[in-house]
Amino acid sequence: MDKKIKIYIAGHNGMVGSAIWRTLSEQGFTNLLGVSSKELDLRDQKAVREFIARENPDVIIDAAARVGGILANNDYPYQFIMENMQIQNNLIDSALQNNIDKFIFLGSSCIYPKLAPQPLKEDYLLTDTLEPTNEWYAIAKITGVKTCQAIRKQFGKDYVSLMPTNLYGTYDNFDLNTSHVLPAMIRKFHEAKENNNAPVTLWGSGTPMREFLFVDDMAKAVVFALENKLPDYLYNVGTGQDLTIKELAETIQKITGHKGEIIWDASKPDGTPRKLMDVSKMHELGWKHQIQLEEGIQKTYDWFLQNIEKFKQVKM
């Protein structure tokens, strides 16, 4: 592939988008385009259309989204469904209107039914009801997947959707009001360690099982989709390995050096009992994750410590 092709990465300042930018740069791609949300509001249809028409990229990678954990999804359902649909619809339609042949749409494993058989296969999409705690985000992402599939079917363009499992890594969100479980645990255990190894209270029972993928591995999956024309419209991206939330907590506790007690607040929701991805389709094509969980958590914790001053400004 020509390393000078123009690639627009929507959401390039976020955890996923910045990892994609780094990975593309490391692999020699030189014509990368990114604009901040202050420069371009992706919810603004007119502004997005004008931007895409003016810049005319060869490829669009949609890593832009409003994201958050159970608490944020529960408190802001309208924003989670509407803003995500606005962002993706504006980007996808602008790509089609400007005859852009390649579009990579990023979603989430939460698009699959709450009680779908494990591991989650791409074929399980729309076969049952969603997890209520994040259905607003999930419905928006399902709409994006089906829109890209429709364009693929009707116009023959290479629009593909990648559905990652739970992502974590450098540039993660450590705000306890909006963050996901893994970075929230890193911050909680670190601050409790600093507070004389105070007890750490965590939501739920600790029994649900989750799969985690280091964000740099996700970025490599995006590059794989960029450099190859994938034969299907939807692919899971993950490790194919999971662990209980309790095991995750104990792993993070060990890495951060916290010596205190872990208290499980069973009055809080657990969410989906299990979300393990079937990643056999990507494996068959040649992509596989490289960074194991403990290594990835250590990298993330190291980055957190290097940037801890700015996180201190965001109170618990």
pLDDT tens sequence across 3-29: 999 999 999 999 999 999 999 999 999
- pLDDT of residue 164 exceeding 80, the answer is yes
Tens-digit pLDDT profile for residues 222-238: 999 999 999 999 999 99
Residue 240's pLDDT is what? 96
| ∠ Cα 122 124 128 (to 5°) | 150
How far is the first Cα of the chain from the last one, in angstroms, to the nearest whole number?
46
> Is 166 annotated in some ligand binding site?
yes
> Is 34 annotated in some ligand binding site?
no
> Is 107 annotated in some ligand binding site?
yes
> Is 167 annotated in some ligand binding site?
yes
- pLDDT of residue 311 exceeding 80, the answer is no
Q: What element of type H or E holds 247?
A: helix 245-256
**209 within 8 A of 243, measured Cβ to Cβ:** yes
Strands 209-210 and 243-244, bridge-based pairing:
antiparallel
**235 assigned to active site:** no
Split at pLDDT 50, 70, 90, the class of 314 is: low
One DSSP character per residue, 12-68 reads TTSHHHHHHHHHHHHTT---EE---TTT--TT-HHHHHHHHHHH--SEEEE------
User: What is d(CA 115, CA 9) in angstroms, rounded to the nearest whole number?
Assistant: 33
User: What is d(CA 127, CA 123) in angstroms, rounded to the nearest whole number?
Assistant: 8
| Beta-bridge mates of residue 208 | none
Chain centroid, CA 293 distance in Å: 16
Tens-digit pLDDT profile for residues 41-99: 999 999 999 999 999 999 999 999 987 767 777 788 999 999 999 999 999 999 999 99
Average pLDDT, the chain: 94
Residue 272's pLDDT is what? 74
User: What is d(CA 220, CA 23) in angstroms, rounded to the nearest whole number?
Assistant: 7
Compute how many other C-beta atoms are within 10 angstroms of the C-beta atom of residue 199: 11
Tens-digit pLDDT profile for residues 100-117: 999 999 999 989 998 899
Tens-digit pLDDT profile for residues 252-262: 999 999 999 99
**Residue 107, CB-side half-sphere exposure with 13 Å CA sphere:** 32
- What topology does CATH give the domain 7-312? Rossmann fold (3.40.50)
Instruction: State the catalytic residue, choosing from 112, 137, 233, 301.
Output: 137
Q: What element of type H or E holds 296?
A: helix 293-306
**91 within 8 A of 42, measured Cβ to Cβ:** yes
Give me the residue spans of the domains in the chain: 7-312
Q: What is the pTM of this model?
A: 0.92
> Is 207 annotated in some ligand binding site?
no
